Structure 1
């Protein structure tokens, strides 16, 4: 693996953040799997699929199955998450899948080696988005397809309301999350179009999507999970433990309206982005 320029992301995804996702593999899949079918629509029989920021690999495994005689390669920075991805592929007997620990922004993929590149919330953290997507474009064959989902403004889904109580208990982050490398860096479709166009893609389309995900069995369970979620835990860590108790109680009250027989269901607002390499 080449030197990783995304140093901060590399540390996060091989530290607490990556371990949390690995330890809560099923929970995160339950949160995000509503977007799977929209992404898998880009996969055709026999395709060679690249899954960028694959995490614990649910989408990679599904794409491998969808491709049939094709293959799927999942790429991620996180060793803990890839360990779970490999174990899950083995347990499910998905034989046409492989996983590589690498930074997709700079990894030397073989030229024109893939028919389609997918990503489920894995492309928002690039230190240099144009360079990263240009690298992915070179990995696609001429005419190859790109499909990913990235976060929209969280206020357009339910997550904004669920996290609103944090403002009363935690110090401000000093960021709105839209800077390069942050979770909302691609929340503006004008930014997405500019980045992908500069990276050499054509036929860029951004379609708004909202899909529900299950965050917990009940309000208390969802609140505990949210309090341990990396972005929240990072802000809680230096504070008195009593603050954490108040935050969990406030989060439980905030998500209680979303509690139902299937657990706490919150809609995630996202953009479904598609594009292709010319040729």
Structure 2
């Protein structure tokens, strides 16, 4: 297969992956509750064989592994540093029913009719060709196999992203990505999700609206939280790498002002909107 995801691989095995490894704790505090909504939809039993797509540093794989002691979970990602972190954590927790592989489910063949369940926490929105990717996922599932994933709704419903971009675009030239292009909000339109899954052969598709508050940078002051926010956006981090301290401080002060209404004792508390998606083969 042609490697259509080369840019994504280079990014996530470089600066993007390194940032997420360094900020793993903060990102898991933010994302674990949302990932749990998709885990709750799974028909887990001790001997299931499960695929975790875009598993990153392994939080969801490790959580699921505890619930399938006689089964196995295989976490796939295109980020070498994040998978190294996942393997390290699995070893520390003595979870021997985990396996982590550098693999792109869009362009690399998966074992046919092997998995009982395919799962993802925010890992399926980065494909250059999602139709090809989900056909591959569909083929990897056993008959009656289950799919469950969580993805972001529109950025305007997720102020942790939209408000910060309003600020950063005042200082940096950040062109808006084309609709449905690879990125966190590629699946904001549920009709687009439904189309992809139907074309890929999935049935019993259910897309549920999920809105809940999320915590970012728990226990941090407003300044510390704003500083950390700048570091978890790999694109912004790369653009600021060669910028002077004065520009960075201007952006930081503007973020502090914008985020001040959302700063609570536990860190930054934002509303969020996601889709919880389930389907069957």
Superposition deviation, residue 91 in structure 1 = 1.1
Aligned partner (choices 164, 168, 171) of residue 170 of structure 2: 168
> Cα deviations across residues 81-126 of structure 1 (Å, max 9, x unaligned)?
0011011111112121110011111222211111111111100010
Give the aligned partner of residue 101 of structure 2: 100
Superposition deviation, residue 24 in structure 1 = 1.1
Aligned partner (choices 222, 225, 228) of residue 225 of structure 1: 228
For residues 168 and 255 of structure 1, the distance between their equivalents in structure 2, rounded to whole angstroms, comes to 16
Q: 2:248 is paired with a residue of what secondary structure?
A: helix
Superposition deviation, residue 4 in structure 1 = 3.7
Q: How does 1:19-168 map to 2 (within 5 A)?
A: 19-41=18-40, 42-45=42-45, 46-159=47-160, 160-168=162-170
For residues 170 and 4 of structure 2, the distance between their equivalents in structure 1, rounded to whole angstroms, comes to 36
* 8 A Cα contact 1:218 1:263, kept in partner: yes
Give the aligned partner of residue 5 of structure 1: 4
Gaps of 5+ in 2: none
* 8 A Cα contact 1:157 1:210, kept in partner: no
For residues 191 and 240 of structure 1, the distance between their equivalents in structure 2, rounded to whole angstroms, comes to 41
User: What is the TM-score with the length of structure 2 in the denominator?
Assistant: 0.92
Superposition deviation, residue 148 in structure 1 = 0.7
Q: 1:36 is paired with a residue of what secondary structure?
A: helix
Q: How does 1:235-274 map to 2 (within 5 A)?
A: 235-237=239-241, 239-274=243-278
For residues 209 and 97 of structure 1, the distance between their equivalents in structure 2, rounded to whole angstroms, comes to 29
For residues 168 and 174 of structure 1, the distance between their equivalents in structure 2, rounded to whole angstroms, comes to 12
Q: 1:66 is paired with a residue of what secondary structure?
A: coil
Gaps of 5+ in 1: none
> Cα deviations across residues 220-273 of structure 1 (Å, max 9, x unaligned)?
122111212213224434644422211111112222222222122223321111
Give the aligned partner of residue 214 of structure 1: 215
Q: Across the two proteins, how many residue pairs are aligned to each other?
A: 275
For residues 107 and 227 of structure 1, the distance between their equivalents in structure 2, rounded to whole angstroms, comes to 33
Larger deviation, residues 124-133 vs 159-168: 159-168
> Cα deviations across residues 27-48 of structure 1 (Å, max 9, x unaligned)?
1111111113212121411221
RMSD of equivalent CA atoms: 1.7
User: What is the TM-score with the length of structure 1 in the denominator?
Assistant: 0.92
For residues 34 and 43 of structure 2, the distance between their equivalents in structure 1, rounded to whole angstroms, comes to 14
Larger deviation, residues 138-147 vs 244-253: 244-253
Larger deviation, residues 201-210 vs 119-128: 201-210
For residues 5 and 66 of structure 2, the distance between their equivalents in structure 1, rounded to whole angstroms, comes to 31
* 8 A Cα contact 2:35 2:150, kept in partner: no
Q: 1:168 is paired with a residue of what secondary structure?
A: coil
